[in-house]
């Protein structure tokens, strides 16, 4: 039988990490560059240091853990994900890819396997984008998709600047973010959707990812007392907000692949007896076809302009804040994932990622793919997020196979490990 990773060790570490920033509901809250996020990183780095791996950091807070190869000049194989979570996050999103990556390194060590290429385990800063925007920030800066100085000006809802948190945790002393010349990048992740579980498939062979566009929309009116002012004389942003909600929902029904989400709505000043003076909302548009995503964008902008003309008593403003184009992953890596799943007799299917991942940025610089495993009921960004030990082990073993194959190029073919 083909050997593989130590599932008990991986699971124990997943559960240990979940206790850093625990929530009452059983999930985790480690928002980017918070004290909890740094505590999670410290726990992870302690495991890496115990194995003697090289550790490098950069000025945006990305971490790179190196297992050397026989040829130190060879371009490394990159694996990894992120450790930050949503405010009400679960135990597997991002964390699985990082800790499974560490398990891959340790499994190779335990089996005394030497690889031609080094292997770098990457931990990307602020993948979630919930505390600071945009999302996938660390990988975006490292890959040249985002400007470091610009993202450092980002502020959270409490007004704290990303730059100040970078200084507080001493990342400002590190080298400028720059992705090394790499052979490839492979990321293991829970699906964050219901397809694999519904079809009883263990491995999702990720062929690419949806395009994503984020918007911030504000409607400025005039706050006034709720009692004396007649409805017809108000400069109330709420009716405009209602039309905007309907517009977004209609765009989301464009076809079965369209996704439209209103994630935040805020009325100001937020008093029960005051007509709001301002309404703010966010919109998330997604589609696996960039041309259709363009059409969704035009429909949103056209609808906003029509509302602007029909509600001149208010000032309606909209801004596209982030665009992650549709991604197509590397064919050879996709086939390597498929071969591993087949050889290990794991049920599998091709799948397109509906969520955004750091792999999207990496794919624009190096050959990239992802491996998905099921999550119960497709639930993620939620304390109820769960993946079984069996599926976690399956995904980690596929990651091991692909990593070993790519990092052993130039050596005699290694078909299995004796652990």
Which two three-digit tokens encode residue 407? 């990092």
Query: For 194-210, what is each residue's pLDDT tens digit?
Result: 999 999 999 999 999 99
Residue 16: what are its φ and ψ, rounded to 5°? -65, -40
Query: For 314-370, what is each residue's pLDDT tens digit?
Result: 999 999 998 989 999 999 999 999 999 999 999 999 999 999 999 999 999 999 999
- 148 or 419, greater pLDDT: 148
Closest CA to 105 of 52, 40, 57: 52
Could you list the beta-strand ranges (E) of 221-301.
Answer: 224-225, 259-261, 265-268, 274-275, 278-287
Average confidence score pLDDT of the chain: 95
pLDDT at position 353: 95
How far apart are alpha carbons 357 and 355 in whole angstroms? 7
| Structural domains of the chain ordered from first start | 7-209+326-407 (3.40.630.10), 211-324 (3.30.70.360)
pLDDT at position 413: 47
Residues with Cβ within 8 Å of 370's Cβ and at least 6 positions away in sequence, in order, are 186, 187, 188, 189, 206, 209, 329, 353, 357, 359
Across the range 257-279, mean pLDDT stands at: 96
- 72 or 17, greater pLDDT: 17
Query: For 30-41, what is each residue's pLDDT tens digit?
Result: 999 999 999 999
How far apart are alpha carbons 215 and 187 in whole angstroms? 27
Query: For 96-116, what is each residue's pLDDT tens digit?
Result: 999 999 999 999 999 999 999
- Long-range pairs of 43-47 with CB within 8 A, sequence gap ≥ 24: 43/16, 43/17, 44/17, 44/83, 44/98, 44/99, 44/102, 44/123, 47/13, 47/102
pTM of the model: 0.87
Tally of CA atoms within 13 A in the half-sphere of 79 that contains its CB: 31
Closest CA to 269 of 304, 221, 198, 312: 221
Q: How do 77-81 and 119-123 pair as beta strands?
A: parallel
In angstroms, the Cα distances linking 358 to 180, 209, 369 are: 15, 11, 11
pLDDT at position 410: 59
Dihedral sign for Cα atoms in the order 329, 330, 334, 337: negative
Which two three-digit tokens encode residue 174? 């590190």
How far apart are alpha carbons 81 and 85 in whole angstroms? 12
Query: For 237-261, what is each residue's pLDDT tens digit?
Result: 999 999 999 999 999 999 999 999 9
Across the range 167-179, mean pLDDT stands at: 97
Beta carbons of 175 and 59 less than 8 angstroms apart = yes
pLDDT at position 298: 97
CA 74 to chain centroid, in Å, comes to: 28
Task: Please report which confidence band the pLDDT of residue 119 belongs to, taking 50, 70 and 90 as the band edges.
Answer: very high
Task: Please report which confidence band the pLDDT of residue 3 belongs to, taking 50, 70 and 90 as the band edges.
Answer: confident
Q: Is the peptide bond before 345 cis (omega within 30 degrees of 0)?
A: no
Which two three-digit tokens encode residue 61? 């807070």
Residue whose token pair is 């942003």: 237
pLDDT at position 180: 85
Q: What share of the chain is helix, strand, coil (3-state, %, to 5)?
A: 35, 25, 40
Across the range 367-396, mean pLDDT stands at: 97
């Amino acid at each position: 039988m083909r050997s593989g990773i130590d599932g008990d060790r991986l699971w124990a570490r997943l559960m240990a990490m979940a206790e850093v920033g625990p929530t009452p509901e059983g999930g985790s809250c480690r928002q980017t560059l918070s004290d909890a996020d740094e505590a999670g990183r410290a726990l992870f780095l302690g495991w890496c240091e115990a194995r003697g791996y090289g550790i490098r950091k950069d000025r945006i807070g990305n971490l790179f853990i190196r297992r050397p190869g026989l040829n130190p000049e060879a371009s490394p194989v990159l694996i990894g994900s992120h450790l930050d979570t949503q405010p009400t996050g679960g135990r597997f999103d991002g964390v699985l890819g990082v800790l499974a990556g560490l398990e891959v390194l340790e499994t190779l060590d335990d089996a005394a396997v030497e690889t031609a290429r080094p292997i770098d385990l990457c931990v990307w800063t602020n993948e979630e984008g919930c505390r600071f925007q945009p999302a996938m920030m660390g990988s975006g800066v490292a890959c040249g998709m985002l400007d470091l100085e610009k993202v450092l000006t980002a502020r959270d809802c409490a007004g704290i600047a990303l730059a100040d948190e970078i200084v507080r945790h001493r990342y400002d002393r590190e080298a400028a973010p720059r992705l090394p010349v790499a052979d490839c990048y492979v990321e293991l992740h829970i699906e964050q959707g219901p397809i694999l579980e519904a079809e009883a498939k263990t491995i999702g062979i990720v062929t690419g990812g949806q395009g994503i566009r984020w918007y911030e929309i504000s409607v400025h009116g005039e706050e006034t007392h709720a009692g004396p002012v007649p409805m017809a004389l108000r400069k109330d942003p709420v009716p405009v907000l209602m039309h905007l909600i309907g517009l977004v929902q209609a765009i989301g029904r464009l076809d079965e692949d369209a996704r439209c989400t209103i994630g935040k709505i805020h009325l100001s000043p937020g008093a029960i007896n005051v007509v709001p003076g301002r309404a703010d909302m966010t919109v998330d548009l997604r589609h696996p076809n960039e041309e259709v995503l363009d059409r969704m964008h035009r429909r949103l902008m056209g609808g906003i302009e029509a509302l602007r003309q029909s509600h001149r008593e208010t000032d309606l403003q909209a801004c596209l804040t982030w665009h992650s184009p549709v991604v197509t992953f590397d064919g050879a890596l996709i086939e390597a994932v498929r071969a591993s799943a087949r050889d290990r007799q794991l049920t599998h299917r091709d799948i397109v990622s509906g969520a955004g991942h750091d792999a999207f940025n990496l794919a624009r610089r190096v050959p990239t793919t992802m491996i998905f495993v099921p999550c119960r009921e497709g639930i993620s960004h939620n304390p109820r997020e769960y993946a079984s030990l069996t599926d976690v082990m399956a995904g980690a073993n596929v990651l091991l196979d692909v990593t070993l194959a790519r990092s052993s190029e130039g050596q005699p073919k290694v078909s299995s490990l004796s652990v």
